[in-house]
């Protein structure tokens, strides 16, 4: 089961979208090597084939597309692909998207996250295409991020709320790439 965007956003706020891992506190007396192995993600994502509108006029349509590949070591069954749109996005206009069959997306504010009904095995990829409109007042460089969020959720814990996941020490990793569209006259 997947969570609505509000729960995704709450979980995503635990760490900045910089590709850093979310680390649990190490128990007293634990060695660095044992902590490193315990904190390794179940699945590591590689973001590739990133294509986007490099220059656009204010009020124009901007397009993003990218691929998220699970590089292993385990299949990913609880992941989202998407990102954060630039500050100049017109949130009153529609966001158009396309992805593999069965993909569903949620958009709230500047964040958009999509999920598919299948498990992503090692070396398999999901792709996403997003199209949105900039505000007519947008100026300068409009920076967005695209990528994937992967959670190490054990079987049976898919429907737990954020508070319970935090109590259980469920970890997540965010893999993103920044992309920049220059607004021209």
Q: What is the pLDDT of residues 15-28, one digit of tens each?
A: 333 333 333 333 33
107 part of a folded domain: yes
35 part of a folded domain: no
53 part of a folded domain: yes
Domain of 64, in residue numbers: 5-21+43-184
Look at the chain and report how many structural domains it folds into.
1
Both tokens of 114, joined, read 């999509």
> What are the helix (H) ranges across the chain?
5-12, 32-38, 162-168
29 part of a folded domain: no
- Give 112's DSSP letter: E
31 part of a folded domain: no
Pairing mode, strands 43-52 and 61-73 = antiparallel
Range of 11-15, 73-77, 81-85 with top mean pLDDT: 81-85
At 162, the pLDDT band (50, 70, 90 cuts) reads low
Q: Residue 108: is its pLDDT beyond 50?
A: yes
136 part of a folded domain: yes
Distances (CA, A) of 106 to 31, 33, 80, 82, 170: 41, 38, 10, 9, 22
At 87, the pLDDT band (50, 70, 90 cuts) reads very high
The 10s digit of each residue's pLDDT in 16-71 is 333 333 333 333 333 333 333 456 778 899 999 999 999 999 999 999 999 999 99
Q: Residue 127: is its pLDDT beyond 70?
A: yes
Q: Give how far the C-alpha of residue 71 lies from the chain's centroid of Cα atoms, to the nearest Å.
A: 16
Q: Which residues of 24-58 are buried (b: 16+ CB within 10 A; e: fewer)?
A: eeeeeeeeeeeeeeeeebbbbbebeeeebbeebeb
Could you tell me the CATH number of the domain that includes residue 64?
2.60.40.1170
67 part of a folded domain: yes
In the block, tokens 């920049």 appear at 180
Question: Which value, to the nearest 10 degrees, does the dihedral of the CA atoms of residues 39, 43, 47, 48 take?
Answer: 140
Q: Does pTM top 0.85 for this prediction?
A: no
Upstream peptide bond of 73 is cis (omega within 30 degrees of 0): yes
Q: Check residue 158 and give its pLDDT.
A: 67
Q: Check residue 117 and give its pLDDT.
A: 84
């Amino acid at each position: 089961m997947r969570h609505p965007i509000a729960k995704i956003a709450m979980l995503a706020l635990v760490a900045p979208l910089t590709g850093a891992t979310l680390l649990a506190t190490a128990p007293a007396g634990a060695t660095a090597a044992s902590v490193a192995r315990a904190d390794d993600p179940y699945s590591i994502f590689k973001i590739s084939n990133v294509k986007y509108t490099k220059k656009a006029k204010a009020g124009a349509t901007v397009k993003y597309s990218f691929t998220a590949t699970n590089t292993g070591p385990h299949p990913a069954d609880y992941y989202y692909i998407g990102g954060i749109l630039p500050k100049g996005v017109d949130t009153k206009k529609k966001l158009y998207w396309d992805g593999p069959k069965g993909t569903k997306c949620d958009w709230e504010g500047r964040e958009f996250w999509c999920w598919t009904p299948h498990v992503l095995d090692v070396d398999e990829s999901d792709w996403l295409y997003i199209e949105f409109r900039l505000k007519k007042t947008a100026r300068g460089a409009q920076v967005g991020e695209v990528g994937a969020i992967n959670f190490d959720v054990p079987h049976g814990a898919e429907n737990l709320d954020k508070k319970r996941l935090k109590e259980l020490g469920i970890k997540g990793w965010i893999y993103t790439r920044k992309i920049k569209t220059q607004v021209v006259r």
